[in-house]
């Protein structure tokens, strides 16, 4: 795709992509940066754009993926800042209990990181960031029922692995 064709085909999508990004990200990331990155990505693949039926559909897909990547990066940053009290563990003040809470927090972080990507995103958005299922469904582009199922599976897997870990520690 030549520069003039790119200007005619892609550049007019800017306002739509900004609105779409704003709706997906709800102000949690810089929409201008995301759309700029999308344009750079599309420009870098300009030779292949003619192969696509709809450059607009591709632009929206690239935008959605970029938003999810940015949100995931933000969630990962916030996951590193989780405090044991955020996990609703009992607030017991003995050094042993504090150390146990810290260890449990570390284990939960590792277990979340070991989940499949979609389950990681969903459990972080729901249990750490506090999003509603409908919001998560819209951001991830999945059905609300799929979000509920993935959240349930992620929680179950973490619960089972924590129980297994605690049983090993007691032995």
Q: Convert the pLDDT of each residue in 39-48 to its tens digit.
A: 999 898 888 8
Spatial CB neighbours of 75, under 8 Å, sequence gap ≥ 6: 121, 124, 125, 128, 129
Question: Phi-psi bin for 32: left (phi > 0), alpha (psi -120 to 50), beta?
Answer: alpha
| Phi, psi for residue 118 in degrees, rounded to 5 | -65, -40
Give residue 145's pLDDT.
94
Whether the predicted pLDDT of 34 surpasses 80 = yes
133-140 vs 14-25: helix crossing angle, rounded to 10: 150
The listed range with the strongest mean pLDDT (40-49, 71-80, 84-93, 128-137) is: 40-49
Burial 17-33 (b: 16+ CB within 10 A, else e): beebbbebbeeebebee
Give residue 78's pLDDT.
54
Burial grade of 147 (CB within 10 A; 0-12, 13-18, 19 or more): buried
Give residue 154's pLDDT.
92
- Whole-structure pTM over 0.85, yes or no? no
Q: What is the pLDDT of residues 109-147, one digit of tens each?
A: 888 888 998 898 898 888 877 888 888 888 888 899 999
């Amino acid at each position: 795709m030549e520069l003039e064709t790119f200007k005619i085909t892609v550049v007019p999508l800017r306002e739509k992509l900004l609105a779409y990004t704003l709706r997906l990200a709800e102000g949690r990331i810089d929409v201008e940066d995301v759309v700029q990155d999308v344009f750079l990505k599309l420009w870098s693949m300009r030779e292949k754009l003619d192969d696509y039926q709809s450059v607009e559909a591709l632009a929206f897909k690239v935008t959605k993926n970029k938003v999810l990547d940015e949100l995931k990066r933000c969630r990962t940053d916030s996951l590193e800042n989780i405090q044991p009290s955020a996990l609703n563990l009992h607030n017991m003040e003995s050094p042993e209990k504090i150390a146990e809470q810290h260890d449990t927090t570390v284990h939960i972080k590792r277990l979340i990181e070991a989940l499949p990507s979609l389950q990681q995103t969903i459990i972080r958005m729901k249990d750490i960031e506090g999003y509603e299922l409908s919001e998560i469904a819209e951001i991830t582009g999945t059905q609300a029922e799929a979000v509920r199922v993935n959240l349930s599976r992620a929680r179950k897997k973490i619960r089972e692995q924590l129980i297994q870990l605690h049983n090993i520690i007691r032995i």
